[in-house]
Structure 1
Amino acid sequence: MNSMQNRANAVMAFSISAIFCLLGAIAFSALVMPSSPAGSVGLDSIKVVTGRYDKNWVDYKTRNNEFANTVMQIDADLSSLFHWNTKQLVVYAVAEYSTPTHPKNQIVLWDSIIKRKSDAVIRKRGLRNKYSLIDVNKKWSNVHANVSLHWNIVPYVGFMTYGRSQPSEAYAFPLPSGVQT
């Protein structure tokens, strides 16, 4: 009838099919789990400086670029996003603005990876931007930015899901305050 090799093949094929069905059910169930995350980002100060950013800045010839330094506060409770299929959260603050030449611009100001539910309540004050805030046009004149908190849920099995807080009120970038070389 069936050899030992045929029987082993049938058992393995059934086992793999059952495992994939189980993983598919896990991935789907993680998408429909209820959560109520809340978060906000506020900018305490924005300082625009004219000059060359640093030795890693690409444009060595020009010394009249404008870059912004921000001090912000972040309040978020993302603990409801952790469940049995959450491996980690990637949380980041984004400034969104538009210019006449580029209708949609997004710059990440700060990010963090959260691996435990106990670390998912974020209360940070006096936080400086982690990444350079430099515009494509090299000038920050007449720019009004909305700042919001975004998060990505990295699951053990399934699809990454994304979310964001409501954007803040528009923050205006002031004129340059000084020259830095």
Structure 2
Amino acid sequence: MHNYFDRINNVTSFFVTITFLIILTLMSSTIVFPKDLDEEPILYSNTNMTKKIATFTVVYFDLEADFEALFNWNVKQLFIYVFAEFQKSNGVHVNMMIWDRILRRGSTDNWVNLKNVPAKYYLNDLKYLCSSNLTLSVHWISIPTAGVFYPYNHKESRITFPLPNDKTCSA
């Protein structure tokens, strides 16, 4: 009738198909029920917002948020980042990432409470920043164990503040 290789092939194909269907069902559960933060992230600007180093600007900010609610069985890690947005005099809208952090599932530091933190990445368009308002916003991307990347920004925190317009800007 059937030899042993055919029987092993049929059993293996059956178990692979069942495993694929289980993974597909579990993956779709995270698409149907996306998790959101319980509270909005809190982003503050400091009175000591910027300091000029050569042609760079360093922005200091405070960030307070609990990202534990975003973790479920399929979330391996979260990529948290802060954008600085401003508009140049010619009308071009610029987004620049100034800070980021990776939070891992099971880690004890999923509560982010940062005070007077300098940006990791400098703002280097100093001549455009001097006459502009700077908007900081917090975003995150959920990195799944299995499935598709989804940028979650259901609740985001934005703060806008004017940058100083002093004689170092015209140089």
Label 1:2 to 1:174 Cα distance change in 2 as closer, same or farther (>3 A).
same
2-11 or 31-40, larger mean C-alpha shift: 31-40
Query: Cα deviations across residues 134-162 of structure 1 (Å, max 9, x unaligned)?
Result: 12x85323221221111111111111221
Q: CA deviation at 1:50?
A: 6.2
Label 1:146 to 1:105 Cα distance change in 2 as closer, same or farther (>3 A).
same
| Superposition pairs of residues 137-176 of structure 1, within 5 angstroms | 138-164=127-153, 165-175=155-165
| Sequence identity (%) | 23
Q: CA deviation at 1:40?
A: 2.4
In structure 1, the gaps of 5 or more residues are: 52-65
| Superposition pairs of residues 32-43 of structure 1, within 5 angstroms | 32-37=32-37, 38-43=40-45
What is the SS of the residue equivalent to 2:108? helix
Q: Which is bigger in relative contact order (C-alpha 8 A, separation at least 6)?
A: 1
Q: CA deviation at 1:178?
A: 5.1
Q: Do 1:91 and 1:152's aligned partners in 2 also have CA atoms closer than 8 Å?
A: yes
Structure 2 CA distance for aligned equivalents of residues 128 and 21 of structure 1: 47
| Superposition pairs of residues 99-110 of structure 1, within 5 angstroms | 99-101=88-90, 103-110=92-99
CA RMSD of aligned residues (A): 2.3
Give the TM-score taking structure 1 as reference length.
Answer: 0.79
Q: Do 1:50 and 1:176's aligned partners in 2 also have CA atoms closer than 8 Å?
A: no
| Superposition pairs of residues 65-80 of structure 1, within 5 angstroms | 66-80=55-69
What is the SS of the residue equivalent to 2:16? helix
Query: Cα deviations across residues 97-122 of structure 1 (Å, max 9, x unaligned)?
Result: 22244633211111111113532211
What is the SS of the residue equivalent to 2:73? coil
Q: Do 1:88 and 1:114's aligned partners in 2 also have CA atoms closer than 8 Å?
A: yes
Partner of 2:70: 81
Number of residue pairs aligned between Structure 1 and Structure 2: 164
AA matched with 2:52: V
| Runs of 4+ more than 4 Å apart | 176-179
Structure 2 CA distance for aligned equivalents of residues 48 and 100 of structure 1: 22
Q: Do 1:93 and 1:150's aligned partners in 2 also have CA atoms closer than 8 Å?
A: yes
Label 1:25 to 1:100 Cα distance change in 2 as closer, same or farther (>3 A).
farther
Query: Cα deviations across residues 69-101 of structure 1 (Å, max 9, x unaligned)?
Result: 111100111111011111111111111222244
| Superposition pairs of residues 1-80 of structure 1, within 5 angstroms | 1-37=1-37, 38-44=40-46, 45-47=48-50, 49=52, 51=54, 66-80=55-69
Q: Do 1:49 and 1:176's aligned partners in 2 also have CA atoms closer than 8 Å?
A: no
What is the SS of the residue equivalent to 1:118? coil
